[in-house]
Chains A and B, each alone.
Chain A
Amino acid sequence: MSHGRGLRLWHALMVVCALLGASGCAQVRAYQRERLTDRIMSFKAEAREDARLTKSFEAREGSTGGNGGAGGGCACN
């Protein structure tokens, strides 16, 4: 794949992200979020495992990233 095509794909993905952010979602009340806070759903619970794997991949591959650096919120408040 050419570098130019990669750039176009990257820009396209950012547009998709922007559209996702702008899109409206069904209102989910706090009492409806039991499943979202389950251990098997939590982004935060997997962060440590993801960081270890990313470090292993970075030592063997030419790319980096995918974890959002220091992390992100849970959108649970």
Chain B
Amino acid sequence: MQLKPTRGVLVLVTGLLTLTSRPAVAAGLEFDEQTAGPMFRYFADSDHVGVKSYMADYNMTLPSQVGMSMHWNTEQVTIPAVHAPVGSQEAVDAITTASRPISGNAYEDFVKVRNEFQGGVTRGPAELDYYVSNESDYLAQQIAGRYDLDLNEQLNLSFGSSYGWDDIEPLADDDTQTGPSTKTTLHMNAVATQVVSSTTMVRYGVEYNVVEGLQHNPYRNVYAGGTNVPERHPEHRERRDAFVKLNRFFDNRSSVRLSYRLYNDDWGIVSHELSSKLSQYITQGMFVRYQYRYYTQTPARFYRDEYLTTNGVDGYLSGDYRVGPLSAHLFGLSLNFDLGTMASSMPVFGRTALVIGYERYFNSNNYSADFLETGLDFRF
């Protein structure tokens, strides 16, 4: 399959030319500051799904308030083979609800690679981004724009919007035959960032998304009317959320961030998210961060574990736990080292930062996952 990004690249190139087209910049080409950094992230969950992510970021600031950023990510995703005995009910259940194509042999690992690139350019208060992600059965592209406005010395307003368009071509599957399809996402947001005092900042905002097109996993089936049939979600979804985040600095060189998000959509899902982060300097240039997050959601109106008939609820069927009732917890711990201040006698470490982090996620569906990441940031 050849899914190729085209429109997005044109938009990005046009934006780059427009936002950076100033004679002074072209003649000067002096970089005020550049940062670059590789990062590795490993994910493993209780279903034995594994994801290895190899990332790299590069940012530079040019004169005249022009900046450019790039982000690459290559991921290898491994979805394990079915381990239940052939023909057993457990195997049938595993195959039916698999979020992977089952073609020929469900008893082999399914491995796929996903490549992602994001490029952006800023000039003064304006920013333009292009994003593309490509894998064997999915091509996602997005353009995004943002404008920041300083109302006064205490308050900044930001207005952003993005448009994404996805091409989906499911791979061959023995028990589900979903044809090629598309999905579009229109996003808008308004965010305010306010200085409350010399130690406290607050950020709050609202977001709105309209999604059109294929929105269910094309490989999943659900039990209905005594058999199993492909899942089917509505092709229209309106999603909105409001959030508030509070950051406060304390005299013992620590900070606390508290945040809350309320979300709902026209599928009937209402969710609440509460999270907290505590960051504490241990020495100059080294701090530790503790994190906790609680999440809960109500199910979509059409969600059922099993349906009486193949008509489902209003024609829609889903046994996907992501649109079912759910609560989840996340605990995290990370260490951040500024190697330049810790090893000032070794110039090789000057202006280099190292981060090591671990997160543990678990939810009410007896699902758990571990995230491990490590990365470097070079400033030059």
Interface residues in chain A, defined as those with a beta carbon under 8 Å from any beta carbon in chain B? 1-3, 5-7, 9-10, 13-14, 16-17, 20-21, 25-28, 30, 32-33, 35-36, 38-41, 43, 46, 48-49, 52-53, 56-57, 59-66, 68-77
Contact = CB atoms under 8 A, between A and B. Distances in A.
Contacts of A77: 150, 153, 156
Interface string B318-347: 000011101010100000100000000000
Contacts, number: 212
Contact of B194 (A5, A25, A52, A53): A25
* 6 tightest Cβ-Cβ pairs between the two chains A and B: A6-B270, A73-B156, A68-B191, A65-B241, A40-B279, A72-B191
A14 B262 CA distance: 10
Interface in B226-267: 239-245, 247, 249, 254-255, 257, 259, 261-265, 267
B223 to A, nearest CB: 20
A63 B241 contact: yes
Given A7-B264, A61-B326, A71 B242 contact: no
A39 B281 CA distance: 10
Interface string B281-307: 100000101000001011010000000
A56 B241 CA distance: 18
12 contacts: A21-B192, A27-B154, A36-B195, A41-B201, A41-B247, A56-B43, A56-B371, A60-B363, A63-B273, A70-B160, A72-B148, A76-B195
A13 B264 contact: no
B272 to A, nearest CB: 8
Contacts of B203: 43, 68, 72
Given A62-B269, A70-B146, A10 B193 contact: no
A20 B204 contact: yes
Contacts of B270: 1-3, 5-6, 9
Contact of A65 (B254, B261, B268, B330): B261
